[in-house]
Amino acid sequence: MAFIEVAGVSKTFVSASGAREVLRNVTLSVERGEFVAIVGAMGSGKTTLLNLLAGLMPPDRGSVAVDGRAVEGVRHDAAIVFQNYSLLPWFSALENVRLAVAAACPSQSKAEQRARAVDALERVGLGNALQRRPGQLSGGMRQRVAIARAFAIEPDLLFLDEPFGALDALTRDTLQQELTRLCGSVGRPVTTVMITNNVEEAIVLADRIVPLSRGPRATLGASIPVTLPRPRSAAALLRDPAALRVRSTIIEALTEGAVSRVRLKRDSTDGPATVRLRPDATYDTAMVRLKPDPTSVAGVS
């Protein structure tokens, strides 16, 4: 039995405007120590799925079990990093991390808790920003605090909800490397589930990528293993043929049904062609569908 077992999970949200089934019959298993990335477009129900996994909300049907036990609420050995950092703005970076440590290890003395929080912040390079409040930190630094808070409790389970979604590409790249390093430095397997809409990010970080079809009624597709050697850098992967193959497989899986099939009718071979995409289609989906001559889409906007 896998470490995380999700079996036949469905979730429907009922609002004034009616019921909306976000997830239908989702099944997933994650081995201990594995890093799984769930990739899907915006609004596909990714966050809902992660919230179910993490125990922030219960499923309507189906079951979520970790280590053989049904998930009821957030586990004490689980940490979650959210896209919007979720730091308490009235506390300093240190106090934010200390709050987590104090809640996770109430038996430790105040000094021990503080030392642990300081250590966690130093490990993400924030040793000189301990007393700063989130409002005085950049987006990248805030997410570092959130990551430090997650690792400070030495979790067995790590849930990442679009952790770098709000960051610029450079910061994102650095933090991805740091995350890989942190996961390796814990000394025992950390089982990680990350959700993201960024295919490159998933390839850089994950052992296995699971595409989530478009919501409503999203389901998981067949998983795609990523066997590329580590450490991986986003820049190098752009040139790696194996990585590109993984990338196009994922995008193929994701765009299933996302784009109406179009046939390009062009009067001349080199004139401009107009393709209308559904509003939720991404640049990636456009790229794939305009194959097999990707060089011709240089001007896609």
Residues at the site binding another protein, with contacts judged by CB under 8 A: 54, 56, 73-74, 76, 78-80, 82, 84, 86-91, 99-100, 103-104
To another protein, the closest distance from the beta carbon of 115 in angstroms equals 19
For 139, the enclosing helix (H) or strand (E) is helix 139-152
Q: Which residue is listed with tokens 């120590």?
A: 33
- Please say which residue, 150 or 224, places its beta carbon nearer to another protein: 150
Q: How far is the CB of 44 from another protein (least distance, A)?
A: 20
d(CA 42, CA 65): 26
By C-beta, is 55 or 211 nearer to another protein? 55
**What is d(CA 166, CA 14) in angstroms, rounded to the nearest whole number?**
29
**Tokens read off for 34:** 């594995």
Specify whether the CB–CB gap between 83 and 165 falls below 8 A.
yes
Q: Do residues 88 and 137 touch, judged by C-beta distance below 8 A?
A: no
Q: Least distance (Å) from another protein to the CB of residue 104?
A: 7
Q: Where are the beta strands (DSSP E) in the chain?
A: 4-15, 18-30, 35-39, 61-66, 69-70, 78-81, 157-161, 191-196, 208-211, 224-225
The CB-of-74 to another protein minimum distance in angstroms stands at 6
Q: How far is the CB of 147 from another protein (least distance, A)?
A: 13
177: left (phi over 0), alpha (psi -120 to 50) or beta: alpha
State the nearest-atom distance from the C-beta of 159 to another protein, in Å. 9
Cα–Cα distance for residue pair 44/219, rounded to 1 Å: 9
- Quick one: 70 or 103, whose CB is closer to another protein? 103
Give the number of residues written for the chain.
301
Contact status, residue 199 vs residue 38, Cβ threshold 8 Å: no
